[in-house]
Amino acid sequence: MPNNQNQKPKSKFTKFFLVSLSATILLILVFVFGYALGDFSLAKKVGLFEKGGQLLNAEKLPDYLKNDVNFDQFWQVWRYLKDNYVKTNITDTQLFYGALSGLVGALNDPYSVFFDPEISRKFNQELAGSFEGVGAEIGLREGRLTVIAPLAGTPADKAGLKAGDLIVEIDGKDTSGIALDYAVSLIRGEKGTKVALTVYRNGDDEPRKLEIIRDKIEIDSVRFSRKDKTGKSEGDEGFVLKEGNIAYVELLYFNENTLADWNQTVQNILAINPSGIILDLRNNPGGFLGTAIEVAGEWVNGKTVVAEQLRSGEKIEHKANRQARFVAIPTVVLVNKGSASGSEIVAGALQDYKAATIVGETTFGKGSVQDLKEFSDGSSVKLTIAEWLTPNGKNINEQGIKPDIEVKMTKEDYDADKDPQLDKALEILRAK
């Protein structure tokens, strides 16, 4: 925060800062006292089985948030907790990090998160492509802890966790109102340990309990396979394409390893001179922006892939700097509600430039920009600083990318090992 000694005490910025801090007081209490015990009632706690009324005047601030606040109150609450809480083992460090978490949480933005030093370390491990846990990307949607995407081949995937599942309990703890970073810390853990997730899936009558054994998660971000007319297969085994020299690329993540794997995959694809390409971005939760832009550049070199709209209204355009080696190859991109962030940027750019046909379901709608600020104690803040716009100006955030051709995957399709979205992609490419 800038240090401006000439700033008036009651400036707009100071009011916002103090109001935000005052809002953390309740969160500190939550942090210290934990979750209230009670009988589990899914209908009451997450409102899944009944349709409630609409929230009116959500944008209107309560009168108490318009008042000036006295920062002394923060220390009064701090001292009250220290002097009166029933347990005596609560440290100043716990209260301090709880307060910082509440400060960021007061923004009411599911993608702006405070990481204490331990969670910050684990977060950086994930971006590096290796960590221990269950292998699922989670986020908050409408205040509910939601699976964005299970990573392929991970314990979460093998246990049956699906994109869109609501996690209503973690090891018996109710997740109503839970902070995202705290939820992540509960789900992650050492290899070989167990975590029980109670999840609700759209269409289920009751929640289901999944017991998952944590493991070391190594993220292979790119998979490539093809089957030509002779029946010869290349690339990963276990995925069979029908006749036709069509390259199938499954892009699982945009992490540190993705670009090197992608460059090799591009060479493999060009070597077979394919008649078409299927780029599968289903359940791809995103990752590094630069990697997503480079991938899109194989189809849209030199053009704007995505625009970053700042709080000031200024737009920063991000262009690809690739050779666009796939520009002349008919392409279908597969997406679903587990496609988020970087995968939405790629799909949105290829859709706007008509470089590919988008098939599947509307994507997750995670179209915001996070800056990661690290601090000297090892903690960090992941803060939303902008929103993504497609080249044609469509806002990705909360809206997602709507496919050109909508094809849903039903529970019956999953159970019967059918893939109507892939079938549609093959149908489109065979017709070209």
Whether residue 2 lies inside any domain: the answer is no
pLDDT above 90 for 59: no
- The answer on 207 and 172 residing in a single domain is yes
Burial class for 11, CB neighbours closer than 10 Å (0-12, 13-18, 19+): exposed
The three state secondary structure string of the chain is CCCCCCCCCCCHHHHHHHHHHHHHHHHHHHHHHCCCCCCCCHHHHHCCCCCCCCCCCCCCCCHHHHCCCCCHHHHHHHHHHHHHCCCCCCCHHHHHHHHHHHHHHCCCCCCCEEECHHHHHHHHHHHCCEEEECCEEEEEECCEEEEEEECCCCHHHHHCCCCCCEEEEECCEECCCCCHHHHHHHHCCCCCCEEEEEEECCCCCCCEEEEEECEEEECCCEEEEEECCCCCEEECCCCCCCCCCEEEEEECCECCCHHHHHHHHHHHHHHHCCCEEEEECCCCCCECHHHHHHHHCCCCCCCEEEEEEECCCCEEEEECCCCCCCCCCCEEEEECCCCCCHHHHHHHHHHHCCCCEEEECCCCCCCEEEEEEECCCCCEEEEEEEEEECCCCCECCCCCCCCCEECCCCHHHHHCCCCHHHHHHHHHHHCC
pLDDT-derived band at 52, boundaries 50, 70, 90: very low
Q: What's residue 224's pLDDT?
A: 54
- The answer on 199 and 164 residing in a single domain is yes
Whether residue 262 lies inside any domain: the answer is yes
- The answer on 365 and 239 residing in a single domain is yes
- Enclosing domain of residue 167: 130-217
- The answer on 307 and 179 residing in a single domain is no
Q: Which pTM does this prediction carry?
A: 0.66
Least confident of 32-46, 101-115, 223-237, 333-347: 32-46
Max distance between CA atoms of the chain, in angstroms, equals 78
CA torsion angle 417 422 427 432 (round to 10): -160
Whether residue 249 lies inside any domain: the answer is yes
The last residue of a domain, from among 217, 238, 263: 217
pLDDT-derived band at 336, boundaries 50, 70, 90: very high
Portion of the chain with pLDDT greater than 90, in percent? 42
Looking up residue 198, the CATH number of its domain turns out to be: 2.30.42.10
Whether residue 379 lies inside any domain: the answer is no
- The answer on 281 and 236 residing in a single domain is yes
The Cα 221–Cα 294 span in angstroms is 14
Looking up residue 409, the CATH number of its domain turns out to be: 3.90.226.10
Model pLDDT for residues 100-141, shown as the tens digit of each residue: 989 998 898 888 888 888 878 877 766 555 678 898 888 887
Whether residue 119 lies inside any domain: the answer is no
- The answer on 195 and 177 residing in a single domain is yes
- The answer on 267 and 243 residing in a single domain is yes
- The answer on 243 and 210 residing in a single domain is no
- The answer on 399 and 264 residing in a single domain is yes
- The answer on 364 and 271 residing in a single domain is yes
The last residue of a domain, from among 173, 195, 217: 217
Structure tokens at 97: 């990090």
User: What are the CA-CA distances from residue 113 to residues 36, 173, 235, 354 (Å)?
Assistant: 23, 20, 39, 36
Q: What's residue 12's pLDDT?
A: 37
Whether residue 80 lies inside any domain: the answer is yes
Whether residue 260 lies inside any domain: the answer is yes
The last residue of a domain, from among 184, 217, 250: 217
Model pLDDT for residues 391-428, shown as the tens digit of each residue: 999 999 989 999 999 999 887 887 788 899 999 999 99
Whether residue 182 lies inside any domain: the answer is yes
When divided into structural domains, the chain yields a total of: 3
Q: What's residue 33's pLDDT?
A: 34
Q: What's residue 124's pLDDT?
A: 73
- The answer on 166 and 85 residing in a single domain is no
Mind telling me the catalytic residues? 341, 352, 366
- The answer on 353 and 328 residing in a single domain is yes
The Cα 161–Cα 149 span in angstroms is 8
